[in-house]
Structure 1
Amino acid sequence: MGIEVELGIERELRRVRELRDYHLLDMPPAAELEAVVRVAAAVAKVPAATLNLLDDRSQYMLTTVGFPSRQCDRDDSMCAVRLAQGVFVHLPDARAEPDYRDNPWVTGVLGRIVFYASAPLISPAGNVMGTLCVFDDKPGHLSTEQIERLTDLAGIVVAFFERRRNARLTAQLKETIQAREQWTRTVLDSIDEAVVAVDADGRVSMVNRAAREIHPPDVDMTGGLTGAAERFQLYEPDGRTLVADDDLPLRVAMRTGEPVLGRELVFQSSVRGTRSVRANAAPLKSAAGEVTGAVVAIHDVSAEHTRRRIIEEAHGRLATANAELRRSNSDLTDFAGAVSHDLVAPLAAVGGYLELLSDLEPQEGGRGDEWVRAAAQAVVRMRDLIDALLGYAAAGSAPVRTRPVPLGDLLDQVLQDLAGDIVEAGARVAVPAVLPTLTGDPVLIRQLLQNLIGNAVKYRDPSRSCQIDISAGPDSVLIADNGIGIPPGRREEVFDMFTRVDGLPVPGHGIGLSSCLRIAERHGGTITIGETPGGGTTVVVTLPGKPSDHG
């Protein structure tokens, strides 16, 4: 297919699309078109005239004068012969024209046209949509002036087509705008934020439901911006100073041409009381960039301010509580020192006197030496209890000073401290050759390990050899023994102060595990108790190395 043929096909497609876009065949002809056709017949001084439209298949006589309207195929149309040329056609005798003499409108099949003239109907886009035709059943001739007048009438017809199309498009556009306005109003009325728009003169042009509901019915919602702060009771954040007219977010947006974001205001309404609001305003601009108005959205932030006040008050109470906690910890440290001096020292003196009494000659038949031994044992128990209490106080109040802690070195020190108890119990402690480096306070971690390993030795099963296995991960330590174990229902309770498992023959104060829990929690970690396969207790301690808020 040649290029010219392809271009011709494309032009024809464009022509037919534009013809259909006029929707001329969808409605009856207007009286103006009938008048134009009558004038055309009078100008040509012939009895018949017609207004023809041609699509890709047919010719339609939109209106006629002097003969009845009749549709025909495009191939049979006289107007279609030179339609693509878009020129005025003037045939004094169509029977003498080679490309017309065999046409059905000439031969008598559809008509007996002899004289024929047509002015093309050319759209502003340059497409020929049809023709304004005049004809007779006998030869005729048009003067130059007649041809010009018929061409003018064809232009009038096209102008009418344009007017009708523009009216239809305008109506459609109006419907679209009305639908969009209704959609916009529906959306704006469905939200709980107040939205107000003003025109270039500052007069209110749109108010949504939320904006209407926050004002009493007697408030004028259509007035301008002058005096709007007093009319709508808009105040500065202090709740006492009316907003100046020039400082209203809408007026600022219109004056500067820039958005106003996060403007804090106080709104006093007889309907909703005093409310804190945040206003965001933006200018409305034309296609040329001129400010034609502004719109503001008002968000009620009263609840947000209340939450913020509650949070600030809670922070204040928390700060006070932390200060009191620090004071209590300081008092506890002072108390621990006082206990160390005021209780331990006298106990040491009592123990010394008891030793002196034990060196004296026993009285015959007396029970003095028995009483001395009992008193000495009570002193030892009291001293152990005081040491345990002091350890518990230190575990909860001493500052957590984290740093890398080589677990192997720390365990060596702990096992050395417990060597006497371990040997006496005949216990075997298994420690891996390689242990990780933890992050934490070495003093507190040492106290924790000493308590846990000491418990494993103390609460051993007398029916078998004591076995203690120690292992560790990057931030955890596991200590498993084959001792007497802890019943499942008591494994949480044993972390409480002064709690011991009933029926155990082993002496203790029920403070050691409480201290271990405090140490783990102050490192941001946990401590859990489980059962060792085959019997016994397995304690797992995690030490992430991140002190808790109470560390």
Structure 2
Amino acid sequence: MVSQLDITRREAIEAYHVIGEAPAPDLQGIVRLAATVCGVATAVINIIDDRSQHQIAAVGIEPAVCSREDSMCAAVIARPGRVVVPDARLDERFAQNPFVTGEIAHVRFYASSPLVTPSGVAIGTLCVFDESVGDLDESKREALDLLAHQIVDLLELRRISRALSASNDQLSRFAGQISHDLRNPLTALTGFLELAIDSPDMVNAPDAARVLARAESAAERMDEMISDILAYARAGGASPQRTRVNLAAVMDAVVDDLDAQISASGADVRADVDIEPVGDPTLLRAVLQNVVANALKFTAAAGRAPRVAVDAHAVGGGWRITVDDNGPGVPEADRERVFRLMERGDSDADGLGIGLSTCRRVVEAHGGRIGIDESPDGGTRVWIVLPDPSAAADVGADAR
């Protein structure tokens, strides 16, 4: 039976990604230095999990894997600390070990220092050994400990570098989505301000107050979106708010943000969304804004005046939202592909398909589903199903 300590050790080892990899030059350099400092023929970095000993770097032998039962270092890792054994044949821990008896090797002198992670988990050893009896003076023993610490430092540095690289990739995608989502309210804000500035007599213009109020509203929506989406990103994209969402008010904001695009395309956008699903209002607004903006863009690109209908109603265990357009539609074979990051249905159209990729992540973070069908007008229908957290039953497949 695997102990909790073994599980913890295995998880710590997995975080370093060293099992099954070619020996890293920096680790090879350390084992070569350890052998030279200790005056022996062989030095090895051993990583020990609940089943095996993995030699991830070695000098004097070819790195290999052996069972934990055959490992000399496994016999001492339970009590991490420096071990120096002048003659392993005389030590009860090693006298019958196959590395000592000749079944695998003829080890006589053995010394090791544990590899202990910053959280205190011993994952292996830096070990030196020889076929002749030997010993280490205090300065060499301290050097062995120092080199073991340096190995852990290197493993930690590589782990952090991988994490930063992954974070940078996520940050790049997130930055792209932020710029995508903010473009619409920013366009609305700019348009409203230009309209006010172009008024012949701004002070007395009867519409100036209304125009500036709409500009202020667009700015507030943009600020709200920045704050809420950044909070969502800091939580790892897995913790949306859970509150009652006035979907009609959300759609009003979406239409306001897309005002320039709607006007330019002569679009007819209608919404029948008199429901209050549970979710994150800012994130759901971003989803609907992406979907409606795509409907406008791709329908207009096909040379048609866009007609977009947004509908929402309760279904068993939750709510269903659909966005239908009269555009060219998405071929059935492409309906899954367009949800992948940086994919889009029409390779000749402007813009990247980053929106739908993020829409799926947001909907799934709510426990829901999103997909594409054909609309009654022959265009595209994007459907979204959101679960009601208070409902005992799951939303069934027929909710599509």
Could you state the TM-score of these two structures normalised by the residue count of structure 1?
0.38
CA-to-aligned-CA distance 1:306-327 (integer Å, 9 cap, x gap): xxxxxxxxxxxxxxxxxxxxxx
* Structure 1 residues 299 and 235: alpha-carbon distance in aligned structure 2, compared to 1, 3 A threshold: farther
1:67 aligns with 2:29: no
> 1:353 — aligned with what?
none
Q: Post-superposition shift, 1:32?
A: 1.0
Match of 2:130 among 124, 127, 136: 136
- Unpaired runs of 5+ residues, structure 2, are 232-252, 263-400
Q: Is the 8 A contact 1:51 1:63 kept in 2?
A: yes
Match of 2:28 among 27, 34, 44: 34
> 2:4 — aligned with what?
10
Q: Post-superposition shift, 1:128?
A: 0.8
1: CA distance, partners of 2:85 / 2:40: 13
1:176 aligns with 2:122: no
2: CA distance, partners of 1:300 / 1:58: 60
2: CA distance, partners of 1:300 / 1:161: 50
**One-letter code of the match for 1:98?**
E
* Structure 1 residues 277 and 97: alpha-carbon distance in aligned structure 2, compared to 1, 3 A threshold: closer
Q: Is the 8 A contact 1:237 1:265 kept in 2?
A: no
Q: Aligned Cα RMSD in Å?
A: 3.6
Q: Post-superposition shift, 1:83?
A: 0.4
- Unpaired runs of 5+ residues, structure 1, are 1-5, 196-207, 216-228, 243-262, 268-274, 288-295, 304-551
2: CA distance, partners of 1:276 / 1:177: 29
SS of the aligned residue for 1:82 comes to helix
Match of 2:218 among 255, 260, 279: 279
CA-to-aligned-CA distance 1:215-272 (integer Å, 9 cap, x gap): 9xxxxxxxxxxxxx7xx56549996149xxxxxxxxxxxxxxxxxxxx84359xxxxx
Q: How many residues end up aligned between the 2 structures?
A: 231
1: CA distance, partners of 2:17 / 2:258: 52
Q: Is the 8 A contact 1:114 1:137 kept in 2?
A: yes
2: CA distance, partners of 1:278 / 1:80: 66
Q: Is the 8 A contact 2:185 2:219 kept in 1?
A: no
CA-to-aligned-CA distance 1:201-224 (integer Å, 9 cap, x gap): xxxxxxx6x678x59xxxxxxxxx
2: CA distance, partners of 1:68 / 1:280: 65
1:126 aligns with 2:120: yes
**1:462-477 alignment, distance < 5 Å:** none
**One-letter code of the match for 2:94?**
Y
> 1:255 — aligned with what?
none
2: CA distance, partners of 1:179 / 1:15: 33
* Structure 1 residues 138 and 178: alpha-carbon distance in aligned structure 2, compared to 1, 3 A threshold: same
2: CA distance, partners of 1:140 / 1:63: 23
1:54 aligns with 2:40: no
Q: Post-superposition shift, 1:117?
A: 0.3
**One-letter code of the match for 1:279?**
A
2: CA distance, partners of 1:94 / 1:86: 18
Q: Is the 8 A contact 2:189 2:218 kept in 1?
A: no
* Structure 1 residues 301 and 52: alpha-carbon distance in aligned structure 2, compared to 1, 3 A threshold: closer
Q: Is the 8 A contact 2:196 2:202 kept in 1?
A: no
Q: Post-superposition shift, 1:10?
A: 1.5
The structure showing larger relative contact order (alpha-carbon pairs under 8 Å, at least 6 residues apart) is 2
**1:262-411 alignment, distance < 5 Å:** 264-266=210-212, 278-281=217-220, 282=223, 299=257
* Structure 1 residues 75 and 144: alpha-carbon distance in aligned structure 2, compared to 1, 3 A threshold: same
SS of the aligned residue for 1:180 comes to helix
**One-letter code of the match for 2:218?**
A
1:116 aligns with 2:113: no
CA-to-aligned-CA distance 1:104-137 (integer Å, 9 cap, x gap): 1001111110000011000001011111111110
Q: Is the 8 A contact 1:236 1:265 kept in 2?
A: no
> 1:165 — aligned with what?
159
Q: Post-superposition shift, 1:12?
A: 1.9
Could you state the TM-score of these two structures normalised by the residue count of structure 2?
0.51
Q: Is the 8 A contact 1:235 1:241 kept in 2?
A: no
2: CA distance, partners of 1:134 / 1:182: 51
Q: Is the 8 A contact 2:53 2:65 kept in 1?
A: yes
**One-letter code of the match for 1:77?**
S
Match of 2:202 among 204, 227, 240: 240
2: CA distance, partners of 1:301 / 1:142: 79
Q: Is the 8 A contact 1:101 1:107 kept in 2?
A: yes
Q: Post-superposition shift, 1:13?
A: 1.1
> 1:424 — aligned with what?
none
| Percent identity between the two aligned chains | 30
> 1:21 — aligned with what?
15
CA-to-aligned-CA distance 1:273-323 (integer Å, 9 cap, x gap): xx9884342376799xxxxxxxx99748899xxxxxxxxxxxxxxxxxxxx
CA-to-aligned-CA distance 1:504-524 (integer Å, 9 cap, x gap): xxxxxxxxxxxxxxxxxxxxx
1:148 aligns with 2:142: yes
2: CA distance, partners of 1:150 / 1:132: 8
> 2:185 — aligned with what?
194
> 2:96 — aligned with what?
102
**One-letter code of the match for 2:9?**
R
* Structure 1 residues 234 and 158: alpha-carbon distance in aligned structure 2, compared to 1, 3 A threshold: farther
* Structure 1 residues 266 and 14: alpha-carbon distance in aligned structure 2, compared to 1, 3 A threshold: same
SS of the aligned residue for 1:279 comes to helix
2: CA distance, partners of 1:127 / 1:237: 70
Q: Is the 8 A contact 1:236 1:266 kept in 2?
A: no
SS of the aligned residue for 1:51 comes to strand
Q: Is the 8 A contact 1:113 1:138 kept in 2?
A: yes
Q: Post-superposition shift, 1:45?
A: 0.7
> 1:481 — aligned with what?
none
SS of the aligned residue for 1:67 comes to coil
Q: Post-superposition shift, 1:69?
A: 2.0
Q: Which moved more, 1:170-179 or 1:145-154?
A: 170-179
1: CA distance, partners of 2:258 / 2:51: 65
**One-letter code of the match for 1:155?**
H
* Structure 1 residues 194 and 104: alpha-carbon distance in aligned structure 2, compared to 1, 3 A threshold: same
* Structure 1 residues 44 and 239: alpha-carbon distance in aligned structure 2, compared to 1, 3 A threshold: farther
Q: Post-superposition shift, 1:29?
A: 2.4
* Structure 1 residues 148 and 211: alpha-carbon distance in aligned structure 2, compared to 1, 3 A threshold: same
Greater gyration radius: 1
Q: Post-superposition shift, 1:179?
A: 2.4
* Structure 1 residues 170 and 60: alpha-carbon distance in aligned structure 2, compared to 1, 3 A threshold: same
2: CA distance, partners of 1:34 / 1:265: 69
> 2:86 — aligned with what?
92
SS of the aligned residue for 1:68 comes to coil
SS of the aligned residue for 1:126 comes to coil
Match of 1:77 among 27, 50, 71: 71
